Every structure is written in C-alpha cells, then in structure tokens.
Amino acid sequence: MTIVVSGATGQLGRRVVEELLARGVAPADVVAGGRDEGRLAALGEATGVRTARMDYDDPATLGAALSAGDVYLLVSGSEPGGRVPQHAAAIDAAVHAGVAHVAYTSVLGAGATPLSLAAEHEATEELLRASGLPVTLLRNGWYTENYAPTLEQARATGVVLTSTGAGRVASATRDDYAAATARVLVDVAAGDGAEHVGTAYELSGDHAWDAEELIAALGEVLGRDVTLRAVDTDTHVAALREAGLDEGTAGFVAGLDAAIAQGALAATPGDLSRLAGRPTTPLVDALRAMA
C-alpha cells in the first residue's frame, strides 16, 4: 500500500517522509508530493522516494498523484484564507481516486478553541466527514520552532514581549509531530490501523509551560539574562506596529497570545507521545537545537 504525503517539501511534510523511512517503509512505497519540482527532485534524490507534483491550486495534479488504495496524508495548506478551497480540491481528488484512508493535519482543540486560525481547519474537518472516506484527524498543537523569532529577539535585546498572561503552551517539535504522524500512516498501511479510523487525536507536548518558564529556558540556552515584558493585547499590538509589522500581522500575533491566555494551547492529553512512542522534546532542548 502506497503512502502519499502532500506538502512533502515543507518543514513538517519532509520530516514525515524521513520518519516513514526510519520506520522501515520502503522508499518505493512512499510518494512525496509538493508544488516545488526542484525541491521535490532534491528530496527524491536524497531519500529514494517517488515524487509527484501536487499543487492544491491545480486539482489535476492532485488526481494524477493519487491512486486507489493509497494512504494519503493531507498536510494543511499554508495560505490563510485559501485553505478551505485548496483542501476541498484535495479531498475531492482523494474521493475520485478511491484512496483507502486520509489523515489530515488539523489544529489542537478544533471545534472548541479561540484560535483564529481554527475556522479553516474546522471547515476542512467537516468536508472530510462528509466525504465518506476513512479519516484520521491529527490536531496539531504548537511547534516549538515557532519560537525561533523569540529566541533571536532574546539574543539581540535580552527582552521578550508577551501578552499571554498566565497562559500555558504545550509545544512540541516538528520531529515529535512527524513521529506520531508516521506511526498512524504506517499502522494504516500495514492493516493495523483500525484504532485510527474516525479518531481525532489532540497532539501536544507532554508539559505545558508558561512565559516565566520560556524566559528561564531562553536564558539557559543563550547564557544571558532575559527579561519578560508582560503587556496587555492593545499594548502588544502597538509595540508590534512600532517594530514594523503591518496592522493585520500585528493583530494576528497578539491574537495568538490572547488565545494562549485563554488556554487554547495548554492541553496535555498525551496522544502525541503515545503515538510517537517516546516523550516529547523538552522546551529547553528544542530551543538549544535552534540556537
């Protein structure tokens, strides 16, 4: 049974491909899909997997890459506001091809989260439910790598601005998420995936840390004092605008912090480490790898 990974030249998708191979899947049984043919060629050369152009905005490429019986990882698109039609095209192609199973990278707490980016994921989940396909929802939480700019800010200024309040973040690395994702795909492809059919996994790190813990971890990694500047949302937006961000981006960033303050990324159900087969990467270790 072939495993097809869309978005395979992206930061998560490539890691999933590599994890599949590490788990013993033959390169010939993996199709890495993506828009950038140059990067696909490089990935194929480096790993030996098959490759296919898969552009969510070009439905014909999706249909050409999928076949009956495939296990398909639909990695969510990266363009806010455009994801639902892109995902609808991918789901339609999967239905017409007769794929055996679809796994979709959604968002933690879909259906009950204040995260502004959740709406498109929730709409995609509804499309998948209506498709009639066997589906697994991989509701990914926050990537610790999202804090690379925070790390650089702390390195340069010794100050980190946040409006998360007492909110906590159960982040994990992309490698952690890739390991769990590959486990699901391998199980299904091997015929051992009954537990994954119709399941929504809430994927997050084992420990939910707060801003004070983030500051301490940054200080340890950088070997310098790092100060937390806690502000309200309006002040945060103003500071981001002053730093050069446009109004929409500043509002989005501050809105994420506001959602964190409401507990949107704090859940620690343990699904991620259970599927990955190991504990998730501690915050300080993940930051050190980025430093």
Angstrom distance (rounded) from CA 52 to CA 253 = 34
Q: What is the pLDDT of residue 79?
A: 84
SS (H, E, C) 196-227: HCCCEEEECCCCCECHHHHHHHHHHHHCCCCE
Contact assessment for residue 34 and residue 133, using Cβ atoms and an 8 Å cutoff: no
**Partners of 202 in beta bridges:** 139
Q: Using an 8 Å Cβ cutoff, are 141 and 171 in contact?
A: yes
Burial class for 243, CB neighbours closer than 10 Å (0-12, 13-18, 19+): exposed
Which fold does the domain 3-141+172-203 belong to in CATH? Rossmann fold (3.40.50)
User: What pLDDT was estimated at residue 243?
Assistant: 87
Let me know the angle formed at the C-alpha of 214 by 211 and 217, rounded to the nearest 5 degrees.
Answer: 155
Q: Is this model's pTM higher than 0.95 or not?
A: yes
Domain made up of 146-168+205-267+281-290: CATH architecture: Alpha-Beta Complex (3.90)
Question: Which of 8, 50, 6 has its CA nearest to residue 30?
Answer: 50
Instruction: Output the CA torsion sign for 80, 85, 91, 97.
Output: negative
Which residue ranges make up each domain of the chain?
3-141+172-203, 146-168+205-267+281-290
Encode the chain (291 residues) as per-residue pLDDT tens digits.
999 999 999 999 999 999 999 999 999 999 999 999 999 999 999 999 999 999 999 999 999 999 999 999 999 998 888 999 999 999 999 999 999 999 999 999 999 999 989 999 999 999 999 999 999 999 999 999 999 999 999 999 999 999 999 999 999 999 999 999 999 999 999 999 999 999 999 999 999 999 999 999 999 999 999 999 999 999 999 999 998 989 999 999 999 999 999 999 999 999 999 999 999 999 999 999 999
